[in-house]
Amino acid sequence: MTRPDYKKITQVLNYIAGKEGGKINYMKALKLAYLADRLHLRKYGRLITEDKMVAMQKGTLGSQALDIIGKNVSLPHNVYQYVENRLKRDLDRFTIEARDRDRTSLSETDIECLDKVYSLLGDKGEFDLAELTHKLPEWKRYEYIIEKKEKSVVAMQMFDLFEPTENPELNQLYSQPDEELYLSRNLFRESLEQEKYLS
């Protein structure tokens, strides 16, 4: 997969915070961003953010998004500066706050999937969303390893995101027609092969 797009990740988090009046619990934002990325992959064959997706004890999320929210010192200076100008992160109050409304990196389909996820799940709290991500097949693959504390963070198999869910709530988001899933999966596979060829 290509490198995570920190501008898009920041704008996604900013956009989600805007849905809640400008301020949101950061775990809730991470979960909603992940669920929107998953939906976009299944519908259009690419992630919104190109983030590296991981499984952790509290479910699934994008690792670069977590680094951005957590002000990780390993972030490159230009990334840190970009984020600082657009997202206020209060780690004591577990919140992020939108500083501007820049959406220039977000496509129509990105916003479509972010809006769809928020309209269905935006009323849930962060722990409810974390629990919901435990129902996803990509988290279930690593449940034993994570619960037994053999590993705290596991990079996920991306093709697991195309697998069906058994949860009625999640099925409202992830019940794409077989033909659409087939096309999206092939688009994603082709993009991975092209990256290998170019690298």
Tally of CA atoms within 13 A in the half-sphere of 103 that contains its CB: 12
Q: State yes or no: pLDDT of 101 exceeds 90.
A: no
50 neighbors 173 (Cβ within 8 angstroms): no
Average pLDDT in the 16-24 region? 95
H helix intervals, 63-147: 63-69, 77-84, 108-121, 126-133, 137-140, 143-147
Grouping H, G, I as helix, E, B as strand and the rest as coil, residue 159 is helix
Structure confidence at residue 198 as a pLDDT band (50, 70, 90): low
The predicted structure's pLDDT at residue 150 = 86
Average pLDDT in the 95-103 region? 89
Q: State yes or no: pLDDT of 1 exceeds 80.
A: no
Distance of CA 14 to the CA centre of its chain: 13
The predicted structure's pLDDT at residue 199 = 57
pLDDT, one tens digit per residue, over 113-151 is 999 999 999 999 999 999 999 999 999 999 999 988 888
**C-alpha closest to that of 136 among 68, 67, 39, 47:** 39
Grouping H, G, I as helix, E, B as strand and the rest as coil, residue 43 is helix
Burial 62-87 (b: 16+ CB within 10 A, else e): bbbbbbbbeeeeebeeebbebbeebb
Higher pLDDT, 190 or 4: 190
In the sheet where 53-56 sits, what is the strand order? 59-62, 53-56, 153-155
Distance CA 144, CA 98 (A): 37
Higher pLDDT, 118 or 2: 118
pLDDT, one tens digit per residue, over 44-95 is 999 999 999 999 999 999 999 999 999 898 889 999 999 999 999 998 989 9
pTM, entire model:
0.95
Residues 6+ apart with CB under 8 A from 176: 42, 43, 184
Domain boundaries, the chain: 6-198
